[in-house]
Amino acid sequence: MAKQVGIALTFIMFLLLFTAVGIYSATRKQNTTTDYLLASRNVNPWLTALSAMATGQSGLLFIGQVGNAYKIGISSLWLTIGWAIGDYLAWYFIFKRLRQLSEETASDTVSSFLSQNMKGSRLIAIISAIITIVFLGSYAAAQLVAGSKALNAVFGWNYNLGIIIGAVIVVIYCFSGGIRASIWTDALQATIMIGSLLVLLVVAVASCGGTGQMWQSLAAIDPALIKWNSSQQPWGFAPFFIGWVVAGFGVVGQPHIMVRAMAIDSPDNIAFARNLKAALGLVTSISAMGIGLTGRVLMPDLLASGDPELALPYLSLKLLPVVLVGLMLAGLFSATMSTADSQILSCSAALTQDIFPAAAKSYQFAKVGTLTVTAVVLAIALLGNNNVFALVTFSWSALASGLGPLLILRVWQRPVNLTTAIAMMGIGIATALIWNLGLDLSSAIYEVLPGMAAGMAVYGIAQFLKHPK
């Protein structure tokens, strides 16, 4: 009991620190929608990199990736490496041009950027906004579930209570300073994420008897855990790996991350932010994978009688002193909440700026939109699937397939007509859904690849029919 009280006090202390940073960010805010949604396009590149890393990983990193490594072993590394390569390529080829063009066209949201200078732009804006709200809303719900899982593991709280607490914190973040509050708290959380993951990894590996002993223990539990190419790659390594490279490139369809490129203070600072984000992201991802592997050695029963996605909080309780458990839990919970608030802000922007543009310049309407979206996300989290990895990867694929191909074309200023744009979004999402749910082929090739390929194929066919040779 005393240990739980100590953890709770430490957890609350760090949570208050994160919340205070978010509230302090309000001292820099201006009561305009551009400031609420893009921090007046004046974000420091250090903050951009840390924020992009934290908001892109969070629940998926602490809960999903740890659980995935626990279940399938060392071959989970290829997912991490593939994703990192794809993400880096997206930053290299897309982000700088998006920052330049979004300012030139005064686009405050991804949907408004997709529809700029296009005949039938209102319809494109509405459809892309609906896609954002549906799938990014589900993504945000997964973050609330991830945070709730951590609280349940440490304190035994009811899942629903943790989800509701998370939703309240999200509203505080959003109302205090909009995207600026999200970015500032992201940066602090990213720093704590890195430190806490490395501390837990070192302690956990030492508890396994070192890396050599850990490797031998994994082999004794199941030889597949130390195979680089596992049964999780049914079509072989190359299709599996390429699928995850494209999955990482699918960041181009994620509004909550793309707005960070749109908010940086200068297009020239994108390269620095990209390199810093990539380096730190690899550190946290490989650390999470290592923690999952140590969890399989130290707590082998989770697979049969528990939840592998809770390996990190359980390991923290088992191995770390009270203060560090509180720190780890606060970092995990707040990172998921800050990601959720980034996603809810993007959904709110889609609702208030793109679906109801008549009120787009109303700062108060933007806040009403945030409350509305939070209520919807809360309902999804309370009623939906508790598998964070499945929720996040599915939402990511739908957004990447629906918005990614069109955004690539718009960034490179390729001509796209209304019919082609709608068909690209619809067929991209439909292909990803069929690949995942209908054909059940995602374990062979993650559905972002066929989804984005289908969207680009629609454009290629349209261009061929328009200009046949």
The reported pLDDT for the residue numbered 379 is 87
CA–CA separation, 374 and 378 (whole Å): 6
Residue 445: left if φ>0, alpha if ψ -120 to 50, beta else—which one?
A: beta
CA–CA separation, 224 and 296 (whole Å): 13
Structural tokens at position 14:
């760090």
Q: Which domains does the chain possess?
A: 1-390 (1.20.1730.10)
Structural tokens at position 130:
């609906």
Q: Which of 289, 339, 298, 301 is nearest to 317 (CA)?
A: 298
Ranges of residues in the chain with a pLDDT under 70 are: 1, 58-60, 177, 230-232, 359-363, 384-391, 468-469
* 184 Cβ contact list (under 8 Å, min separation 6): 21, 22, 24, 25, 47, 177
Name the residue with tokens 């223990």. Answer: 217
The reported pLDDT for the residue numbered 249 is 96
The reported pLDDT for the residue numbered 1 is 64
The reported pLDDT for the residue numbered 175 is 75
